[in-house]
């Protein structure tokens, strides 16, 4: 069982480019989340999904979009990347909202 996988592991992206970060879980968890982690700012929630077909905005949603077409996948899209989106992005899932969250290995993104 893999748990949660994220791709790519790391990426260097030119400003203005579109980028999709992939996240897949095989635990059949209902809830999934995207966080960004920046030094000194901790983990901040970007978007979440309590169940397939629904999504919601977190603390820092601007510049990001998500979709949840099925239980397993929760891609995060940066429509037009900006340098302030340089960060480490973690995807997480939990059996239900508010329960323990299981994190993926992260994607390190550098926007130049």
Nearer to other proteins, 14 or 42 (CB): 42
Contact status: 43 vs other proteins (CB under 8 A): yes
What is the rounded CA–CA span in Å between residue 111 and residue 56? Answer: 25
Nearest distance, CB of residue 58 and other proteins, angstroms: 8
Q: What are phi and psi of 44, to 5 degrees?
A: -120, 130
Q: What is the 3-state secondary structure (H, E, C) of 24-86?
A: EECCCCCEEEEEEEECCCEEEEEEEECCCCCCEECCCCCCEEECCCCCCECCEEECCCCHHHC
How many residues lie near other proteins (CB under 8 A)?
24
Contact status: 22 vs other proteins (CB under 8 A): no
Contact status: 65 vs other proteins (CB under 8 A): no
Nearest distance, CB of residue 28 and other proteins, angstroms: 17
Contact status: 40 vs other proteins (CB under 8 A): yes
What is the rounded CA–CA span in Å between residue 104 and residue 112? Answer: 25
Task: List residues near other proteins by CB under 8 A.
Answer: 33, 35, 40-45, 48, 50, 58-59, 90, 92, 97-106
């Amino acid at each position: 069982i893999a748990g949660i996988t994220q791709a790519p592991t790391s990426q260097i992206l030119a400003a203005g480019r579109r980028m999709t970060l992939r996240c897949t879980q095989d635990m059949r968890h209902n809830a999934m989340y995207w966080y960004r982690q920046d030094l000194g700012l901790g983990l901040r929630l970007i978007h979440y999904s309590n169940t397939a077909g629904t999504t919601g905005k977190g603390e820092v949603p601007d510049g990001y979009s998500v979709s949840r077409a099925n239980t397993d996948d929760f891609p995060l899209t940066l429509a037009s990347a900006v340098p302030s989106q340089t960060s480490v992005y973690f995807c997480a899932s939990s059996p239900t909202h508010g329960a323990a969250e299981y994190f993926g290995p992260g994607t390190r993104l550098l926007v130049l």
